[in-house]
Chains A and B, each alone.
Chain A
């Protein structure tokens, strides 16, 4: 175990982890938006069909 504080390097790790997490969250958000859009589209088509 290294007793000497390499705290100077810690921000790098923090940056990496935050980046990874942010990436996952952004990916999820985009998926979510795509799915919502598709849901809306299908609803519209169904409404059209019902009105016919």
Chain B
């Protein structure tokens, strides 16, 4: 059935729409409510994010090296708990780590700058009476990575990045069509064959340009709320802008040539040139440069994001889905255009 990709694309994208938003982030400990510790009585409230304090057995406290200080735990709800415990008069160092261990979330840790109040820091402190901490096995709960600066917007990965993949895919097909066009030898159907490929590569470029614009806009929006600026001086951003301008120039070039034969050939040549330029600018150059956008010095799109398997379950379907949808858009436009041509030739 020749409509397979349309149904597949629709299903995949609906799945992505739901689950890119429904999946939780990995649980994490985000803050504690005190800024200084005291000798003796301490009561600290922990705040978690996407945690399940209320749902399974939870332990919490402070660790210092191998030592563990804990006491009464009061769980208020899934994200809040309070621990009451005693600290001795002197401690060997200030390297305290706040920890929560939960059966569902695994082990969560937080390092926050702490004043030491009236505790004396003495490296020779007698630590024999301190409780020891048995490290639990690290558990990786299911969820998108919770990364600084980005936090929840990591879900955007499933929307912004597929735009570029789709554009790339459409441009590749357009490139192939241009190649085919230039290899048409003089024959009887010379002009018709050329025009066939010409229409296809033009429409592919058109839809590809739409995705390029969408990618730029979504990227800019994402940047504004994570990096603080609508645009930065980054090789990938600048490269993407150049790619947009070059493909826009493709259409300007087409508009300035009257003769269909010449136009087909010239735009095919320009298309080849534009594609190579795009490949260089987006896939090769960023590997050597530095900037804010992820993917320098290695793979031009991913860094630590895609290694996380939970993201992959939504990201790969998103790319596949958008490619299907992009191709569907092109296909409908192609058929409509061919129909117009047919009608025109029938009227004559």
Contact = CB atoms under 8 A, between A and B. Distances in A.
A and B touch in the complex (CB under 8 A): yes
Interface of A: 1, 3-5, 7, 10, 13-14, 17-18, 21-22, 24-25, 28-29, 31-32, 35-36, 38-39, 42, 45-46
B339 A38 contact: yes
Contacts of B10: 25
Contact of A39 (B6, B49, B339): B339
Output the residue of B21, B49, B78 with the most chain A CB within 10 A.
Answer: B21
A18 B151 contact: no
B329 A28 contact: yes
B79 A14 contact: no
B18 to A, nearest CB: 6
B176 interface: no
B47 A32 contact: no
B22 A4 contact: no
Interface residues of B, number: 28
A28 B50 CA distance: 37
Contacts of B21: 10, 13-14, 17
Given A3-B31, A10-B21, A25-B10, A31 B339 contact: no
16 contacts: A3-B31, A3-B79, A7-B24, A10-B21, A17-B17, A18-B17, A18-B18, A21-B13, A25-B10, A31-B332, A32-B6, A38-B339, A39-B335, A42-B339, A42-B346, A46-B346
A14 B175 CA distance: 37
Contacts of B47: 3
B151 A1 contact: yes
A46 B10 CA distance: 34
Q: Determine chain A's interface SS by DSSP, over half rule.
A: helix
B44 to A, nearest CB: 16
Which of B18, B151, B331: most chain A Cβ within 10 A?
B18
A18 B11 CA distance: 11
Given A3-B49, A39-B339, A21 B30 contact: no
A8 B30 CA distance: 20
B85 interface: no
Interface string B1-30: 000001000100110011001101000001
B14 A22 contact: yes
Contacts of A10: 21-22
B255 interface: no
